[in-house]
Structure formats: structure tokens, C-alpha cells
């Protein structure tokens, strides 16, 4: 989603992935950190590690079946210094009845591969883990979670800096042991895992972000307008706008409702899913714009209500005065965000679509229909509580004469129009 669909580099990346598979472009690897250089060089360590990986394939298969996925992981999906094509290299590398492992050692081919897969101190090595489906699909993500969850989970493991760590702790590091042989710490890594973890970490905290936004909106609007219901109504309207916007995005970029139009910017990208960054970026912009348009309207409503009009009349008058300005501002923002739909980068298309839909909803539905309807359903004394509709007068001297000047309500215009 972050690559331009028409760029030569993207086409080359897709071609390489189609020819050589995702193991070359987006590999998943298992880093094994042996207890020592001597242990890693031993035949016992190689056999124990191979047997652990063979058992891991069985556990991943069982977990995938438990989750309802028809996926079978084989021992041939692991390739490293200790395992190749499902067999343990410590027992030899046989093609038919011929063991070619002695020749591999004789001609230095094993040492050459060891230099590529191991660190300089020969205390850690990496194993390539093959996935039979697209890693960015639903089944692919389930497979990555299954592999990670199936790694050895001893009750207590020893840490390099001393002390112990529970297997259920947030910083838990899997540690392998097989047949009383210490295998070492295990780390599953790769770009697909980074994307999955980033998405889960961000989306898992979105409810807290939403609560923080709601609290900030209530504090700012409540303190500015001096009412209790206006901030609550603003939060409800913004939440409604976000729900509709993200729902429309799912319909377009996951379900492909507009794919028949033949417009690339309105068609699902590879993976048939929204990129997790898109709603994370759009939500902040949409909340800010939604508050702007809400404040424009409600500031005028408060002013007319304090001047003596009832709530319905104040809303109608405010729409007559500020409605055109809000609509014009919305059209300008729609055109600005619409430029993102002309991009060939899927993630920019998704963000642009969300912003365009959100702006149109906020300018032409929320401020014109939703807010007036909600205010009409609630009595004035509740809409503007705890304020009371009264005209407060104060004296001001002009050229030796005393005149009475009407005091305005608490609003965003007060600091610009009145002096204290």
C-alpha cells in the first residue's frame, strides 16, 4: 500500500515476488541465539534444534486447525544450518540413498552457508521460515500468530543480565530446550511481523485515543460555551461521522463496492484490506475539522439565543448566516483532499477518500441536519444548561453620557468583540 502502483520499482517488486516468492522479498526468519559458540558447534545442539523445529511445525498445524484454518505446516518449511528439506543435517543430507553431506563439508559449502546465516562469533544463526499463503492475508496473519504462540514457553527462563522472567510477561523471550539440550533464545522477526505488530499495537490503543479526544472536546467546548450538553452532542456527532466514514471506506477498499467503476483510486489494493495507517491518520484530521465546523455554527447559535431568541429560531438564523461559510469551507477542503485520490499510492487514496467523505458529511449533514435535529428534540433549558437566557447590562461612558451595553454570552467571539 505504500508503493506507487504504476512505478517501475513496484512492478519489479511484484515480478520478483511472483517468480521467487515472498520468501525473498518479505522473508520471515527465526533467530536462534545459542548459549555458547561451543554449544552451537556441537552435533547434539544441531539435532536438538532440528527436532524442536519439527515439533514446532506440528504445533503450528494444530493451532491453525483449532482456529478454523485449513493449513498444514510441514518440516520442509524450515531451512537453516540444522535443517533442510525437513531433515536434520546432523543425520546427513541424502538424495535418494546417497548421503552428500561429507562432500558438502569437504568442499567448504557448509562453512560458506554458515558464514551467511550466522554471526561472526558463531553464537547465533537464523532459520528461514516459509509460509504457504500470502503473509498479508487473514490466513497469513493467523499463521504468524500461530508460529509465535507455538514457540517454546518454559515456566521460567534465565536472562543474560541475571534474574528470571515469567513466560506471560510483556517482555517474554521464548527459550528453546530439547532432550535436556539448551537451544537458546528464539526471536521470530521479519517485515510482515513488524506490520502486524504495528497495526495491533495502534488499533489496540485506539479506544483510549477516542476517550482522550472525547474528554478534550468536552473540556474545551464546555469551558468555552459554558454549557453541559453542547460538548456531549459534539462528541456524538463526531463519533457518528467517523463511524460512517470508516464504514464507507471498508465498503470501498475491502468489499470493493466501487470496483466496477474501473477507477484505480477507488478499488481495493492487494490484500483486499484497509492499510492500518490510513484510519490512524484520518481520524486526527477529521476530528479537528469536525470541531471547527461545529464551533462556527454553535458560536452563532449561542449569540442569537442570548439575544432573546428561542433555540429553534437561533439555529435557523445561525444556519442562514454561517451555513454558506461552512459549506464553502467544506468544498475547499474536499477539493484539497480530493487531490490525494489522483495519487497512485493506495494508502494516500484511502486517506484522501476518508477525508473527503468525512468533510462532506460534516458540512452538509452534521451541521445542516444532525445538529439542528438534535437541538430541536431537546428543550432549550436543557440545550443551554446551566446558562439562563437573560440580558445582562452594564454601564459604559461615552463622551460624558452613560449608556447601557448588552453583555454577550461566553463564546469564542467574546475576546474579539468585547472588552472587560
**So what's the pLDDT on residue 3?**
66
Would the pLDDT of 418 be above 50?
A: no
**pLDDT higher than threshold 70 for residue 170:** no
Q: Which residues contact 163 (CB under 8 A, 6 or more apart)?
A: none
CA distance 75 to 82: 12
**From edge to edge, which strands make up the β-sheet containing 78-79?**
78-79, 124-129, 28-33, 181-189, 175-178
* CA 349 – CA 343 distance, rounded (Å): 6
Give the number of residues written for the chain. Answer: 420
Answer yes or no: is pLDDT of 285 > 80: yes
pLDDT tens-digit readout, 47-92: 999 999 999 999 999 999 999 999 999 999 999 999 998 999 999 8
Q: Strand, helix or coil at 99?
A: strand
Q: Residue 412: is its pLDDT beyond 90?
A: no
CA distance 346 to 266: 9
* Per-residue model confidence as pLDDT tens digits over 35-45: 999 999 999 99
Indicate the pTM of the whole model: 0.77
pLDDT single digits (tens) 233-282: 999 999 999 999 999 999 999 988 998 888 888 988 766 778 889 999 99
- At 318-329, the pLDDT tens digits run 998 888 889 999
Predicted pLDDT at 156: 47
Give the pLDDT confidence score for residue 363 in this predicted structure. Answer: 92
Our separate counts of H helices and E strands in the chain read: 16, 13
Amino acid at each position: 500500500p505504500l508503493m506507487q502502483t504504476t512505478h517501475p520499482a513496484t512492478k519489479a517488486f511484484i515480478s520478483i515476488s511472483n517468480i521467487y516468492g515472498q520468501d525473498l522479498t518479505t522473508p520471515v526468519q527465526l533467530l536462534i541465539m545459542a548459549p555458547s559458540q561451543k554449544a552451537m558447534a556441537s552435533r547434539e545442539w544441531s539435532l536438538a534444534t532440528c527436532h524442536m523445529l519439527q515439533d514446532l511445525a506440528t504445533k503450528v498445524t494444530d493451532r491453525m486447525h483449532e482456529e478454523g484454518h485449513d493449513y498444514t505446516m510441514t518440516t520442509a518449511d524450515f531451512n537453516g544450518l540444522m535443517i533442510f528439506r525437513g531433515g536434520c543435517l546432523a543425520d546427513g543430507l541424502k538424495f535418494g540413498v546417497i548421503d552428500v553431506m561429507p562432500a558438502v563439508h569437504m568442499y567448504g559449502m557448509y562453512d560458506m552457508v554458515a558464514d551467511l546465516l550466522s554471526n561472526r562469533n558463531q553464537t547465533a544463526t537464523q532459520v528461514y521460515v516459509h509460509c504457504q499463503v500470502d503473509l498479508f492475508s487473514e490466513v497469513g496473519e493467523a499463521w504468524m500468530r500461530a508460529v509465535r504462540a507455538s514457540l517454546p514457553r518454559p515456566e521460567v527462563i534465565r536472562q543474560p543480565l541475571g534474574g528470571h522472567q515469567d513466560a506471560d510477561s510483556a517482555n517474554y523471550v521464548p527459550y528453546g530446550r530439547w532432550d535436556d539440550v539448551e537451544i537458546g533464545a528464539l526471536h521470530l522477526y521479519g517485515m510482515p511481523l513488524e506490520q502486524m505488530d504495528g497495526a495491533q499495537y495502534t488499533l489496540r490503543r485506539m479506544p483510549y485515543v477516542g476517550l482522550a479526544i472525547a474528554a478534550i472536546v468536552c473540556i474545551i467546548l464546555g469551558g468555552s460555551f459554558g454549557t453541559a450538553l453542547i460538548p456531549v452532542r459534539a462528541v456524538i456527532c463526531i463519533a457518528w461521522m467517523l463511524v460512517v466514514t470508516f464504514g464507507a471506506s471498508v465498503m470501498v477498499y475491502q468489499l470493493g463496492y466501487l470496483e466496477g467503476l474501473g477507477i484505480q483510486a477507488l478499488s481495493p489494493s492487494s490484500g483486499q484490506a484497509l492499510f492500518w495507517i490510513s484510519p490512524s491518520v484520518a481520524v486526527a484530521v477529521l476530528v479537528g475539522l469536525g470541531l471547527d465546523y461545529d464551533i462556527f455554527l454553535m458560536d452563532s447559535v449561542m449569540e442569537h439565543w442570548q439575544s432573546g431568541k428561542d433555540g429553534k429560531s437561533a439555529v435557523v438564523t445561525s444556519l442562514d448566516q454561517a451555513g454558506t461559510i461552512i459549506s464553502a469551507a467544506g468544498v475547499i477542503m474536499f477539493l484539497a483532499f480530493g487531490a490525494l485520490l489522483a495519487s497512485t499510492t493506495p494508502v494516500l487514496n484511502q486517506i484522501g477518500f476518508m477525508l473527503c467523505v468525512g468533510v462532506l458529511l460534516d458540512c452538509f449533514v452534521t451541521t445542516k441536519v444532525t445538529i439542528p435535529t438534535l437541538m430541536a428534540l431537546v428543550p432549550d433549558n436543557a440545550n443551554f444548561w446551566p446558562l439562563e437566557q437573560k440580558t445582562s447590562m452594564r454601564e459604559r461612558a461615552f463622551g460624558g453620557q452613560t449608556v447601557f451595553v448588552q453583555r454577550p454570552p461566553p463564546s469564542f467571539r467574546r475576546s474579539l468583540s468585547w472588552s472587560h
